[in-house]
Amino acid sequence: MLSGETIICAAPNPWESPWHNRHQIMSRLARQNSVVYMAPRPYLRALLRNPRQLFEKGTRWREVLPNLHVYRPPAWAPVSGQQPLRDIFATWRRRDLARRLHALGGTDPILWLVSPDQGDMIGQWHEKLVVYHVVDDYTAYEADTAGAVRLAWLRRLDEKMTRRANLVICTDESLCRRKQALNPHCAFVPNGVAWHAFQNALTEPLPPLFVHLPRPVIGYIGVINDKIDLALLRQVAAAFPHGTLLLVGPEQLRVHTAEWPALQLPNVRFLGGQPVDQVSHFMKGCDVALMPYRLNAWTESINPLKMYEYLACGLPVVSTPIPAARTFAEALYNAPAERFVAAIRQALAEDSPAKHAQRRELVRPHSWDHRVEEISRHLQAVLASVQEKKQGCKKTKK
């Protein structure tokens, strides 16, 4: 395991948001390193629309786990595209965090970036290493919402970030191969699961809600965003009028908002976001779990966390045929939209305690502990290479 380092993770989501892979990775790296989880930076345009953010109360620096601090950048130094404000605010932000890093005793940190628009952070804290963690094809994600100018801008940022990083970590293998054309220091590390935590949750009581839910309970647990085929979910709800379609997770639609009201059916229960430690409890109460993704350029390169978590609960999983579902082809029911309902019926009919046990064991080697050990090996190798180059430069100068 990597140890003795200071890591700044610039996150696009608050620490309190539904947990993503960066939450899992950073909470484990913090066991032997000092980690700063940087919440999203405020933007000047958003502040002008809502000036009340300038007066938000609450600490901007807190320890949420041993060695893991959450840092909220100051609203009085927002990101701006206009000079000279851009440079002035950037200097203020840099000094604000540098002061806190100094108090921690952290010098020459590892900078962990997860979005192509974070490239302006490189070089601000004398970091020894820049990691670009690519968890999506970001340009494919924006293709549905961004205009041609913004899309071209994002592609340039993504390419520049890929070239500048010392290490690029991709959660999708095909995405990793594409990145290797720009940077040879790429590693494919898929998502994982907190396997032991899910096994412990299986021994605990179900949430009281499940006592009253008509069976079968067909569940989707996760963020409801534009990757999700809402029309397909409505089709599922209509096919099981005496059962329950359970949706657990925040609704974050940007494009397909007009389709959301059509899901307001009597047998659809939408619970919204739930505390992180309760997600597994809602999951285990389902009879079958869904991965109802649209088939497009965005979902070609996703590696869903829920796939690992569903299997860790032992659940039968029905998925549209996205590439990531091939990872566990023997355990998942992959079906296009026209056969999706039939696949759910088959999954329910074939389920058994023995199959539950098989699924749990199938995903056991994919624990986050194993993933973080793998990431640590890549980090240590690149750190050694960077250090070797520095030593070589020093000898050349002499």
Task: Give me the sign of the Cα torsion angle 33, 34, 37, 42.
Answer: negative
Give pLDDT, residue 59.
Answer: 87
Q: Distance between CA atoms of 221 and 204, rounded to whole angstroms? A: 19
Give pLDDT, residue 396.
Answer: 61
Q: Phi and psi (nearest 5°) for 76?
A: -80, 5
Write the DSSP symbol of residue 82. Answer: S
Q: What are the residue ranges spanned by the domains of the chain? A: 6-192+368-397, 195-364
Q: What is the pTM of this model?
A: 0.93
Give pLDDT, residue 140.
Answer: 79
Write the DSSP symbol of residue 112. Answer: E
* Tokens matching residue 233: 């979910």
Which of these CATH numbers, 3.30.43.10, 3.40.50.2000, 3.40.50.300, 2.40.50.700, describes 6-192+368-397? 3.40.50.2000
- What CA dihedral angle connects 219, 308, 351 and 356, to 10 degrees? -120
Q: Distance between CA atoms of 305 and 314, rounded to whole angstroms? A: 15
Summarised one tens digit per residue, pLDDT across range 359-377 is 999 999 999 999 999 999 9
Strand order, beta sheet including 6-10: 61-65, 68-71, 34-38, 6-10, 110-113, 129-134, 167-170, 186-188
Domain 195-364 of CATH type 3.30.70.60: no
Beta bridge partners of 367: 193
CB atoms within 10 A of CB 12: 16
Q: Distance between CA atoms of 47 and 168, rounded to whole angstroms? A: 32
Give pLDDT, residue 3.
Answer: 96
Q: Please list the ranges in the chain whose pLDDT falls under 50.
A: none
6-192+368-397 and 195-364 agree in CATH topology: yes
3 state DSSP class of 133 = strand
Task: Give me the sign of the Cα torsion angle 203, 216, 220, 189.
Answer: positive
Give pLDDT, residue 147.
Answer: 65
